Amino acid sequence: MKLKALLTFAGMLAILFATAQKNHPDQIKTDKGPLTIQPVLHGTVALTWDNKTIYVDPYGGAAAFAGIAAPDLILITDIHGDHLDLKTLDAINTDKARLVVPQAVADKLPEPLRQKAVVIGNDEHTEQLGIAIKAIPMYNLPESEDSRHTKGRGNGYVLTMGGKTVYLSGDTEDIPEMRALRHIDVAFVCMNLPYTMDIDQAASAVLAFKPAIVYPYHYRGQGGLSDVEAFKQKVNAGNKRIDVRLRNWYPENSR
């Protein structure tokens, strides 16, 4: 009994520690109640709106989602393991979840999840649980067949909830389709070499499409973490009205 009690206590401590490592969630007002934004890890974010919870690219195991409700909707951008993490999908509670994915991701899902998946390609739309979803291209420049991210394989997403729009870049460079976005309230923009783009490209793109709020995310590359403080300075030197929100997407680096 003592061993069982100790194990239970240790498990509780682990959950509390994981929760403590999380950033405090942000809230954005919408026409239908608050949109809660919870940075999780790397390219993973949890959104809560209208009593629905959305996981984007769930990664990091069940512990990364301690204290966050089980998903009603899961968006996956690409086939790479930090976006399509089958171990994490198996570890979290997906009983009630619908998935929105590109075809390349659907092809790699286990059958129970594939049956719950809605497949959309670049520039296609769907509406799930009252959320309008548009797939946005994401790819490397210059375009080539052997690039890490080829055009058409993966999706970025624009979500519309309660009159607010949220852009999730996925793995991309500062492509024309991103630069042409308009009326984005919240943007999550990647910046990690050699997989996506550097902070100069990211800042240039953000200054082109002018989101009200931008979160640099997915910023761990081969050389370590990108300098998101410098990204913020570059954006605000060009446009002080853009709210650049720096959050800790890599809690292991702050221990």
* Strand 220-221 to 131-138 pairing: unpaired
Return the minimum-mean-pLDDT range out of 112-116, 143-147, 225-229: 143-147
Taking the model in full, what pTM does it have?
A: 0.90
Distances in Å between the Cα of 76 and the Cα atoms of 30, 223, 239, 251 are: 24, 25, 31, 22
Residue whose token pair is 């009252």: 130
Which of 198, 172, 191 minimizes the C-alpha distance to 80? Answer: 172
Q: What secondary structure letter does DSSP report for 189?
A: E
Average pLDDT over residues 34-54: 98
Which of 100, 104, 214, 204 minimizes the C-alpha distance to 149? Answer: 104
| H or E stretch covering 231 | helix 228-238
pLDDT at site 147: 81
> What CATH code would you report for 25-246?
3.60.15.10
Q: Percent of the chain at pLDDT above 90?
A: 84
pLDDT band at 253 (very low <50, low <70, confident <90, very high): low
CB atoms within 10 A of CB 88: 21
**With b meaning 16 or more CB within 10 Å and e meaning fewer, what string describes 108-133?**
ebeeebeeebebbebeeeeebeebeb
pLDDT band at 22 (very low <50, low <70, confident <90, very high): low
Contacts of 137 (CB under 8 A, 6+ apart): 122, 123, 151, 152, 155, 156, 172, 175, 177
Q: How far apart are CA 135 and CA 105, in angstroms?
A: 14
Return the minimum-mean-pLDDT range out of 142-146, 202-206, 228-232: 142-146
Length of the chain in terms of residues written: 255
Query: Which has more pLDDT, 148 or 14?
Result: 148
Contact 60, 82 (CB under 8 A): no
Residue spans of alpha helices (H) in 44-156: 86-91, 103-106, 111-114
pLDDT at site 129: 97
Average pLDDT over residues 121-139: 98
